[in-house]
Structures are given as C-alpha cells and as structure tokens.
Amino acid sequence: MKIMSVDLGLARTGIAACDPLEMLASPVKVIFEKNEKRLIESVADEAKLMGAQLIVVGLPKNMDGTSGERATECERIAGEISAACGIETVMWDERCTTVSAHNALNVTNTRGKKRKAVVDAVAAVMILESYLNYRRNNK
C-alpha cells in the first residue's frame, strides 16, 4: 500500500512516502506554508499526485502521553486533509521525531540552511518508519 506521512508544522510541513511494498520510507518534500487552508490543499494535492492510499499524520503528544492544544489542532487538520483528498488519515505519535531527525542530520553533518530545509521531511520519514514497523509487527 502506498502510504504518505505528514509532519505538520506552523511554517514547514514535512512529507514522506513509502513504496507499495511498505519496505522503504523516503523523504518527499517540505511544504513551506503558514496559511492553513493552502497547506491543507497542498498536502491533499501531494497525496493525490503520489497515489497515496493512506496518510499518516504525526500527533504531537506531550512527553507524559497526554494530548495538548497542538495535538487537537493536528487532529482537526488531518480531518480536513482527508476531506480534501478523500484519503483516510491515521494519527501517529510523533514524540521525539524532530529531535531524532536532528540527531540523524548531525551524523551526516548536515548544517545551516540545508538542515532547516530537510529536517521536517526527515521527521516525516521517522513517523512513517515507526508506523510501518507497527503494521509489520501487528498483522
């Protein structure tokens, strides 16, 4: 199944996707958009363009596992993305994915503007990898 993941941000939103066999998650792009309506349209268009059958949206839970204001906002936006493209969305815990993405970019010595341009897509990859691992282990 072709699955797309989304790491929603206030200014930058990371997009990643997997192959139809669900073996490899890869970064696709970062959408630089602050306007929520345009962001929803851009994500929905990207999902349709790549032929996604499912969209996994990062859920920014608090470290104690509770949901805060941003998590509620992400759930609402995910619903609007689903309505805009007709593709089911699933919320997935994204705790520490941005920190892990920064750590991965440290290993590759990616710095400055280049780092800022890709960190959100790398975080989306980490969200998708976590979701794919869950699917593999819970069939």
pLDDT of residue 135: 92
Name 13's bridge partners: 31
| Residues in CB range of 118: below 8 A, 6 or more apart | 27, 30, 105, 110
- Give 35's DSSP letter: -
pLDDT of residue 67: 72
pLDDT of residue 61: 78
The highest-confidence range among 57-61, 77-81, 132-136, by mean pLDDT, is 77-81
* In contact, 41 and 84? CB cutoff 8 Å: yes
Q: How confident is the model over 83-94, as a mean pLDDT?
A: 94
pTM of the model: 0.85
Domain that holds residue 115: 3-137
Domains: count for the chain:
1
Which CATH number belongs to the domain containing residue 126 in this structure? 3.30.420.140
pLDDT of residue 114: 59
